[in-house]
Amino acid sequence: MRPGIDVAAEYQAREAAGRGEDLDEGDLYDDVRPALSALRQLGVRMVIAGNQTVRAGDLLRGLDLPADLIFTSGEWGVAKPDPAFFQRVTEVAQAAPDATLYVGDHPANDVFPAKAAGLRTAHIRRGPWGHLWAAADVAAAADCRVNSLTQLTGIVRA
């Protein structure tokens, strides 16, 4: 999602205003499509999963992103950082945890719990959480750090 957006607060405000959720191409970072396309060309199975509502999942799938699956915490009934969320990620990814690279910006919701679940982790340093939480313990916990999703193709190739 675009930098600086508090997704939960944004959706709540939209609902309260009677506008409901809205998500379109302008809400994506510029590197999303090129990175997902490049990873798909490498034969990588890609699952997008995050703390979002059921409606947000529908909207994301409507963007026709080059991903194999898109799921939200609202659909699963479990949210990050609950270990059950990361168990679901590995189930739908159909890969062992140590063969799965989980990309996230928030240490407490993404990096630390994904690592605890046995997944490989990439800390993406962008948006408010990616920079506010760029401490040494995050760098030590993550298997790698990236500033752009396009860097993932090099990591996958290695």
Angle ∠(26,72,60) on CA atoms, nearest 5: 30
The answer to the question of residue 22 being in a domain is yes
The answer to the question of residue 130 being in a domain is yes
The answer to the question of residue 1 being in a domain is no
What is the dihedral sign for C-alpha 93, 1, 85, 108?
A: positive
Both tokens of 73, joined, read 């915490």
The predicted-structure confidence for 63-101, as pLDDT tens digits, reads as follows 999 999 999 999 999 999 999 999 999 999 999 999 999
Given a cut of 60, whether residue 49 has pLDDT beyond it is yes
Average pLDDT of the chain is 87
CATH number at residue 80: 3.40.50.1000
* Structural domain boundaries, residue 39: 7-157
Give the chain's domain count.
1
Q: Which residue pairs from 109-112 have beta carbons closer than 8 angstroms and sit at least 24 positions apart in sequence?
A: 109/51, 109/80, 109/81, 110/80, 110/81, 111/138, 111/141, 111/142, 112/81, 112/141
What is the dihedral sign for C-alpha 143, 61, 41, 29?
A: negative
The predicted-structure confidence for 109-135, as pLDDT tens digits, reads as follows 999 999 999 999 999 988 766 566 556
Give the residue among 138, 136, 135 at the shortest CA–CA distance from 109: 138
pLDDT at 18: 46
Minimum mean pLDDT among 9-13, 38-42, 121-125: which range? 9-13
The answer to the question of residue 2 being in a domain is no
The answer to the question of residue 124 being in a domain is yes
The answer to the question of residue 135 being in a domain is yes
Percent of the chain past pLDDT 90, that is, above it, reads 68
Higher pLDDT, 54 or 20: 54
The answer to the question of residue 78 being in a domain is yes
The answer to the question of residue 143 being in a domain is yes
Residue 33, Cβ density class (10 Å: 0-12 exposed, 13-18 middle, ≥19 buried): middle
